Structure 1
Amino acid sequence: MKENLLRFARHMLTIVLFALPSASYADAILTITANGASEAFSFEELAAIPQTKVVTKNDYTDNSVEFTGPRLRDVLAPYEVGPNKTLIMRAINDFAVNIPASDAFEYDVILALFSNGEKMSIREKGPIWVIYPMDDHPELRDDSYNSRLVWQLVSITVE
């Protein structure tokens, strides 16, 4: 009962946060396009969404790193994105990869804003790095998932 109440409260907080006026495009670090509309988010808005920690190592880190950020499924919740959709994740350099939305529901994929407690700069693959919990799921240690670790993420388009 208590767990259900906490889950409901967390979900309602996410909805309220997304109902607030979105960031001006000047402050935006992420743009989400879904259902024919685009919405811009500042670092502060993304940091206000409940945060999840993922400790993992990937092909782009030397050691295990504690990444912190909102779960991708929580960020997408207001858009009612189902697992059958495709997410086009685009980086600042225009690199883009298609990710099945089902990944967000199957795994605790996060939009990492912090690495070992520090805000990530562009030089450090920030301000947003898509992180999969690879240490928790050995099946994620595969080139197909490594290509989904988009750093310097600037937009998500739902198709």
Structure 2
Amino acid sequence: MRTIIFSITVLLGFATLVSATELPLPKGPVILKISGDIKHTNIDGAAHFDLPMMEALAGRQTVIETPWYSGTIFFDGPLISAILEAVGAGGDTLRVVALNDYAAEIPRSDVENYPVILATRIDGEVISVRDKGPAFVIYPFDIAPELYNEMIFSRSVWQVGAIEVF
């Protein structure tokens, strides 16, 4: 009997460990793939997210002026730090890759020191690929105006489809 109880305890512990390292599968179209130094995956050793998965993470809303749009724009999306936490990311650098293969490296310290979001909505509407979607790196210019500079603009990738963590 002790052997059976021990075996069940070990199996339950293993099941908990497995479920803690796996993400749920996306149910809709995948809009973001994360690879590299991550612990929690769901498809082929990477983390794939659909829009509801991303919107379930801690996020931020901001109304800011940017060099890419006229006037002030309302952006909404998950904090990149929340995305990294969800995938159990290690590493110090994020390589953010757009659908057209443009890429920029973002120091992890940026997303730990500032509430940088991966915007999925503009003015309440899902961002279309035509309008710089499905996701757009948005720095918090509203609370950190010192970030409004060319270096940060180059890290503000739009049409984001993937993030590599290293």
TM-score (normalizing by structure 2): 0.78
Query: Which residue of the partner structure matches residue 21 of structure 1?
Result: 24
1:32 equivalenced with 2:34 (yes/no): yes
Return the alpha-carbon distance in structure 2 between the equivalents of residues 22 and 49 of structure 1. 15
The count of residues paired between Structure 1 and Structure 2 equals 142
Task: Work out whether residues 23 and 47 of structure 2, in 8 Å CA contact, stay in contact via their aligned partners in 1.
Answer: no
Aligned residues: percent identity?
A: 35
1:101-150 CA distance string (max 9 Å, x none): 10101111001011111111011111101100112212111100001111
Aligned ranges 1:120-159 → 2 under 5 Å: 120-159=127-166
Tell which structure's C-alpha radius of gyration is larger: 2
3-state DSSP of counterpart to 1:147:
helix
Return the alpha-carbon distance in structure 2 between the equivalents of residues 63 and 18 of structure 1. 43
Structure 1 pair 79–135 and aligned structure 2 pair: CA distance change class (3 A): same
1:96 equivalenced with 2:103 (yes/no): yes
3-state DSSP of counterpart to 1:134:
coil
Deviates more, 1:112-121 or 1:50-59: 50-59
**Aligned-pair distance for 1:73?**
0.3
Where does the alignment leave 5 or more consecutive residues of structure 1 unmatched? 1-15
What's the RMSD between the two structures over aligned residues?
A: 2.2
1:29-79 CA distance string (max 9 Å, x none): 100013363111111211222331021111111111110001000010134
Return the alpha-carbon distance in structure 2 between the equivalents of residues 116 and 18 of structure 1. 34
Return the alpha-carbon distance in structure 2 between the equivalents of residues 103 and 29 of structure 1. 22
3-state DSSP of counterpart to 1:151:
coil
3-state DSSP of counterpart to 2:141:
coil
Task: Work out whether residues 136 and 160 of structure 2, in 8 Å CA contact, stay in contact via their aligned partners in 1.
Answer: yes
Query: Which residue of the partner structure matches residue 15 of structure 2?
Result: none
Match of 2:61 among 53, 64, 69: 53
Where does the alignment leave 5 or more consecutive residues of structure 2 unmatched? 1-18, 39-44
